[in-house]
Chains A and B, each alone.
Chain A
Amino acid sequence: MAVAGPAATDLEVVRGKRAALFFAAVAIVLGLPLWWKTTETYRASLPYSQISGLNALQLRLMVPVTVVFTRESVPLDDQEKLPFTVVHEREIPLKYKMKIKCRFQKAYRRALDHEEEALSSGSVQEAEAMLDEPQEQAEGSLTVYVISEHSSLLPQDMMSYIGPKRTAVVRGIMHREAFNIIGRRIVQVAQAMSLTEDVLAAALADHLPEDKWSAEKRRPLKSSLGYEITFSLLNPDPKSHDVHWDIEGAVRRYVQPFLNALSAAGNFSVDSQILYYAMLGVNPRFDSASSSYYLDMHNLPHVINPVESRLGSSAASLYPVLNFLLYVPELAHSPLYIQDKDGAPVATNAFHSPRWGGIMVYNVDSKTYNASVLPVRVKVDMVRVMEVFLAQLRLLFGIAQPQVPPKCLLSGPKSEGLMTWELDRLLWARSVENLATATTTLTSLAQLLGKISNIVIKDDVASEVYRAVAAVQKSAEELASGHLASAFVASQEAVTSSERAFFDPSLLHLLYFPDDQKFAIYIPLFLPMAVPILLSLVKIFLETHKSWKKPEKTD
């Protein structure tokens, strides 16, 4: 044994301990952060708190209503109080995380001279024509004229009237509580013309929990920047039928005016094609009593698939496609009728499929077969066809029949088949739907980023997210201040930006980097380095522990 043994050894042991601790410290303080930083996936900062804030967003849909009182509509002392503003706010109960409140801001004022003059005219139509001219009303706003209780403008049993533009007429009352009573009537009419629960429930159908009506509510197409409408004439038997349709004229006359009226809601493109030898996938049932063929209702879903493979996809755009098929049944299956649930033939001989389009069966008049040889020349009656297709088009765009309050007169449709307030209602619904979609997309993105750490967020994706969040907020603000047009534009921007961010391919660049491969690369370096450090740390810890215990024992 060495003479200076114990002291020198102790010194060595302490130095060794210090060295081990220093190694550990360097590895933890310098090595770990360095490794973390260099292997990190790039993620630009995102507004997570704002995104989670969007879920608790309160949507306040403001409908500015101008209420115009004519001279004899309310008692005189009430007239003295004009003008003033009343706000009627109501929460729309939906099982949705966003709270939606509907707010009618009624600005009461007296009628101007020319309005008095117009409203004292003989019929509603005349009055409307005279009122129309002065100024265009902003999208989403309404004007309600209150006329005297005994005015002959409306038929005596009618209490109110809804016009084709953004105007309505309500009968006044000579009563102490006149403003309250009239106010209720006005709200009824204004709701029918703008926002009802049904409209919003249909718009949010995808985001609401399923219920038994959900299938019905999911009929309208999802909101999109544009839509493609394709009319197809299916002629499965060109040997017997030489079918001609004047689709160009029909589109010009019936479809285009309707789409022009709808143009605020998106871009539309229309085209048509004729498909020969395109069969339905179902064999119709022969009914010998009427010697005609029937398609049962439960068979209708099977009709579409075989036809759809022939329709062809659109090469030119990514917008959703609405298909309207006119099917001229083959000679062997003529005439062909569609039966409803109860077995009665459907009057229009047509049906529609939610979010897809409509099919109409067009039977060739049996008289045409008698005289001529095959193929017979068939000229399609486009008025009959377009009536059906336009009705289906309205349904597929979610323009439902309005719920008219009792004792209310509804004006006849305008020439283009769409009332101005119906368009407004569509825009309200689409804006809310867009906001819900954008919010869901952003929330899913945030959740996904929390769950999967390998997703890269580049700066341009992050800027899209910021833009989407800002657009959602802007749209909500515009809705609350009653600017429907700009709110709709902002909501479209929100959807576009959020989806561009969510579906950006750069998100997936590092997604396929499984953990086992990562460990296979790290282990050759980390294991040999970490094991000695850990072992010596354990040893140091045990020794210190022992040296602490010893003094206790001696006590």
Chain B
Amino acid sequence: MAAAMPLALLVLLLLGRRGWCLAEPPRDSLREELVITPLPSGDVAATFQFRTRWDSELQREGVSHYRLFPKALGQLISKYSLRELHLSFTQGFWRTRYWGPPFLQAPSDTDHYFLRYAVLPREVVCTENLTPWKKLLPCSSKAGLSVLLKADRLFHTSYHSQAVHIRPVCRNARCTSISWELRQTLSVVFDAFITGQGKKDWSLFRMFSRTLTEPCPLASESRVYVDITNYNQDNETLEVNPPPTTTYQDVILGTRKIYAIYDLLDTAMINNSRNLNIQLKWKRPPENEAPPVPFLHAQRYVSGYGLQKGELSTLLYNTHPYRAFPVLLLDTVPWYLRLYVHTLTITSKGKENKPSYIHYQPAQDRLQPHLLEMLIQLPANSVTKVSIQFERALLKWTEYTPDPNHGFYVSPSVLSALVPSVVAAKPVDWEESPLFNSLFPVSDGSNYFVRLYTEPLLVNLPTPDFSMPYNVICLTCTVVAVCYGSFYNLLTRTFHIEEPRTGGLAKRLANLIRRARGVPPL
């Protein structure tokens, strides 16, 4: 439902673009965007999006010729007949409570019957993941927005998430032919206080230690959007440099936003000084007011003691003063936590909350995890607690990971919701705002779609003493050896009675001395 809209938009865009083409229309196009948003907490979020579209039926054509679309991914699609692929590497955790709802969400139009979903919470994201990701970009990191992608800065951030999304897109309204869309996204959150010596001011150079020098000649669109919502008419709170030529206003994630647009393909933008270093200065420091609490945020934890049983609890917060809304909660729990489904309780405001839909797929040992999916109605201004008890299973001793006492990760649960907006979004001109419609899919004027991930959990499992097999071997062998030894002695030794020696220690000592003197012993 949420995905049908952006699809329709893209088709419109494509039709609009056709007139621009040269004699031989390029069958692929690249558009790159960067959105810089100051977060309520004072941090700065930067979101890159590189979008490659290719009008080609990858799964049908035998010989494949690639231009902007990377060959490695194209081969993957045609060889394994992929319908869609979403892969993301994330380091850090998006703090919804302080940063507001996240900007990038995966589209939700995957067919569930063929869906493969997996999370590796233990994996660490590193430069070695960024380099191949950059190689997929047509301009590599030599020109355009990708110049800013410098690994040592991108990994010195509070949050780093890079992703590859591949999906088919209808080329016309009746969907008789499809194009493939590859979206490469990267979002980072810079800690403005650390990089800016206590100030909230930022500039491209300070964040990325690079500036923009030239547009990527292959891109048909290359833009930087800067969120200047506080840049009001008379009240001079902040200043952006260079002054933006155009601004753009829209309702994004339920709130009204104003963006300054810098178009790199606009020749005047870069040619003046050979580089573009966008800066934002706060003239009057913004009041230290508590950041607005987002309408939906969540929290997850493990409770219980001992190594036998435990409880998984998820707290879902709806802070909207008067509107209730439904949330789809998806949980995958590894098989070694044996869930007791009868203990599943959902309470909000002290009362039991019956979910309107539950799908549960039990785990199979070593084969598949538990899958629990629920549609829960969150009452206005409430905290809903979803808890389920589990028992910790004993693994086979070769199944333990290295360093098992560190614990085992449980993947985050996924929340998808249509959250009511503060401001009603009016229907905007989609051609004007291509980025935002794919970034922030709007379902209708009064709601917006949000997908949240909770914290991954770390659960201790009962771990055996791994030297135990050797200890057992040693102990058994010792017992056997002792029994065997005495048995052997008993059977092979000969016993005979010996006359008790007359005289004790004194006599022997005397004899020793006498022998030394050369006198015959006693």
- Chain A residues at the B interface, C-beta cutoff of 8 Å: 1-2, 5, 8-9, 12-13, 15-17, 19-20, 23, 230, 238-239, 244, 247-248, 251, 269-274, 276-278, 309-310, 312-317, 375, 520-521, 524-525, 527-529, 532-533, 536
Contacts and interface: CB of A to CB of B under 8 A. Distances in A.
A-B pairs with the 9 shortest C-beta distances? A528-B481, A524-B477, A12-B494, A316-B79, A525-B477, A277-B142, A273-B66, A316-B75, A19-B491
A269 B140 CA distance: 26
B143 A277 contact: yes
Interface centre among B24, B485, B494 (most CB of A within 10 A): B494
A315 B166 CA distance: 16
A168 B67 CA distance: 47
B71 interface: yes
A14 to B, nearest CB: 9
Interface centre among A15, A239, A277, A520 (most CB of B within 10 A): A277
Interface of A is mostly: helix
A238 B218 contact: yes
Interface centre among B71, B73, B138, B495 (most CB of A within 10 A): B71
B493 A521 contact: no
A13 B494 CA distance: 6
Interface string B388-420: 000000000000000000000000000000000
Given A2-B496, A525-B480, A273 B485 contact: no
B453 to A, nearest CB: 28
Contacts, number: 114
A232 to B, nearest CB: 9
B287 interface: no
B473 interface: yes
B128 to A, nearest CB: 13
A276 B30 CA distance: 13
Nearest to A310: B135
Interface residues of B, number: 44
A33 to B, nearest CB: 19
Given A20-B492, A274-B66, 9 more contacts: A15-B494, A17-B492, A269-B63, A273-B70, A312-B70, A524-B481, A528-B485, A532-B489, A533-B488
A315 B72 contact: yes
Interface of B: 24, 63-68, 70-73, 75-76, 78-79, 135, 138-140, 142-143, 214, 217-218, 470, 473-474, 477-478, 480-482, 484-485, 488-489, 491-497, 499
A16 B63 contact: no
Contacts of B143: 239, 277
A271 B138 contact: no
B24 to A, nearest CB: 7
Given A248-B63, A528-B484, A271 B71 contact: yes
A271 B64 contact: yes
Interface centre among B72, B217, B482 (most CB of A within 10 A): B217
Contacts of B138: 276
Contacts of A2: 496-497
A473 to B, nearest CB: 36
A247 B140 CA distance: 23
Given A310-B140, A312-B135, A316-B79, A19 B217 contact: no
A247 B64 CA distance: 10
B488 A23 contact: yes
B492 A16 contact: yes
Nearest to B214: A239
18 contacts: A5-B496, A9-B496, A239-B217, A272-B66, A276-B138, A276-B218, A277-B139, A277-B140, A278-B140, A309-B135, A310-B140, A312-B72, A314-B72, A316-B79, A525-B473, A525-B481, A528-B478, A529-B480
